[in-house]
């Protein structure tokens, strides 16, 4: 089955760090650009970061640049987001998504809560 499954979310204190993961199956992961998109409770979608299939091109939103790092392991079909210096406003459901310029496949998300 073609799917993306996020994991690693949880409760973290402000200023803390967390690494979330996205496991891919059912397709040739190494050929796809991948994205992280988040959604704060009751809010809209916010693009966070994107990574090309060979990791040549990396992009971040202004709100996370310098604090978050996107990476991938094409051998193990996984996408990661290392999140440092977390803030309350980073609290959201984090989705990974597949696609070049559109996002045609989404996971179900992993919840990250930043609170003391």
Contact criterion met (CB below 8 Å) for 67 and 49 = no
CA-based nearest residue to 22, from 7, 34, 32: 7
- Could you write out the DSSP letters of every residue in 16-50? --EEEEEEEESS-GGGS-EEEEEE-TT--EEEEEE
Stretch that binds another protein, among 12-20, 23-31, 69-77, 105-113 (CB under 8 A): 105-113
104 binds another protein (CB under 8 A): yes
Out of 18, 20, 79, 107, the only residue in the binding site for another protein (CB under 8 A) is 107
Site mask, another protein, residues 34-53, x = CB under 8 A?
A: -x-x------xxxxx-x---
Residues binding another protein (CB under 8 A) = 35, 37, 44-48, 50, 59-62, 65, 95, 99-109
């Amino acid at each position: 089955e073609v799917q993306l499954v996020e994991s690693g979310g949880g409760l973290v204190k402000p200023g803390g760090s967390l690494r979330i993961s996205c496991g891919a199956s059912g397709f040739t992961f190494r050929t796809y650009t991948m994205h992280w998109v988040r959604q704060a409770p009751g809010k809209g979608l916010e693009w966070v970061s994107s990574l090309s299939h060979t990791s040549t091109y990396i992009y971040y939103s202004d709100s996370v640049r310098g604090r978050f790092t996107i990476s991938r392991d094409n051998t193990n079909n996984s996408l990661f987001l290392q999140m440092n210096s977390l803030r309350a406003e980073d609290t959201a459901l984090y989705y990974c998504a597949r696609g070049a310029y559109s996002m045609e496949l989404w996971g179900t998300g992993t919840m990250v809560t930043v609170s003391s």
